[in-house]
Amino acid sequence: MDILQAIVLGIVQAISEWLPLSSKTLDALAYTELFGGPNENVLSVLLFLHLGTLFAATIYFRREILEVLREISHAPTNWKRHSTTKIGFIVSALFFTGVVGIPLLLIEHFILPTLQGDALLSVMGAGLILTGFLLSTQHRHRWRSVNAANWRDGILPGMLQGLSVLPGVSRAGASTTGIIWRGFDSESAFHLSFLLSIPTVLLAEVILWGAQAAQGGMGSLPASDGIMLVVSSFIFGYLTIGALLQIARSINVASLAFLFGIMMLLFGLMGIG
């Protein structure tokens, strides 16, 4: 793998990780179809690319993460209090991601290995488009902000995020859909989805790295290639977060719902997630 290929794959990962596109599908297509990479290295490539955007989100939201950790350390057993904050949102979303995602993952692995999520992505996209129409006819001024998030707000995004274990379903698209339906403004929807990606991807990375190691290692992908992929996806992932949050400040929720809905519907119908 040369530097140009790592840059292209980093850009693909950065864009698809935060937008309603299936990063695992697009990364795999770019690696195998565009650059002719061997199929046995696909999982390794995905792991390194996602590690880069995980670092990007962690560094971008480092102050917020430290604030959350301090809050937990000051009152580690006061979950009644934490449930009314972003901590409650994150814990609740992760729990319901597991409730939905783990059974689907087992079904996909043992019963229906060809199970696809393209139809679900299309349905969510159509629902978001309808939401955009409804919001554009209403005059709602009090959209909720990031600091209003609590454990109840994590249930729906978490359940929808759990669907992203299926091929073709976007984690970002699913979680952002649930957040929009909970009445958050555009910037907050992006913000909470980015924030939720950190523990979600971290847990997924740990599980997949462990599974890969148990099956005999990371394939034939050189360590130097892995480092290039991590650096590339980190740089472009970090830049993309800032750009998307800036865009979100200038558009309303109806426009965001239309945009995400159309993208999800089209990619779902095209079968590429």
Q: Chunk the chain into consecutive blocks of 10 residues (it has 273) and report each block's average pLDDT, rounded to whole numbers.
A: 92 89 84 86 90 95 91 82 89 94 80 66 81 71 85 94 82 88 89 93 83 64 90 95 89 84 80 59
In the structure encoding, which two tokens stand for residue 161, read together? Answer: 């995020």
As a whole number, the mean pLDDT across the chain is 85
pLDDT of residue 118: 67
Among residues 168, 236, 270, the alpha carbon closest in space to that of 11 is found at 236
Calculate the alpha carbon distances from 256 to 19, 36, 134 in Å.
11, 35, 13
Q: For the chain, state the CA radius of gyration.
A: 18
Q: What is the pLDDT at residue 260?
A: 82
**Cα angle 119, 121, 124; round to 5:** 110
Asked if residue 194 lies in contact with residue 241, where contact means CB atoms within 8 angstroms, the answer is: yes
Closest by Cα among 198, 245, 187 to 91 = 198
> What is the model's pTM?
0.83
> What is the Cα–Cα distance from 209 to 43, expressed in whole angstroms?
9
> For the chain, how are helix, strand and coil distributed in percent, rounded to 5?
80, 0, 20
pLDDT for the residue numbered 198: 94
Q: Are 121 and 268 in contact (CB under 8 A)?
A: yes
Tokens of 249: 């400040």
**DSSP letter, residue 128:** H
Identity of the residue numbered 125: G
pLDDT of residue 12: 93
Query: Which of 90, 225, 110, 96 has the alpha carbon at shortest distance from 163?
Result: 96
Position 241: which residue type?
Answer: I
CB 41 within 8 A of CB 60: no
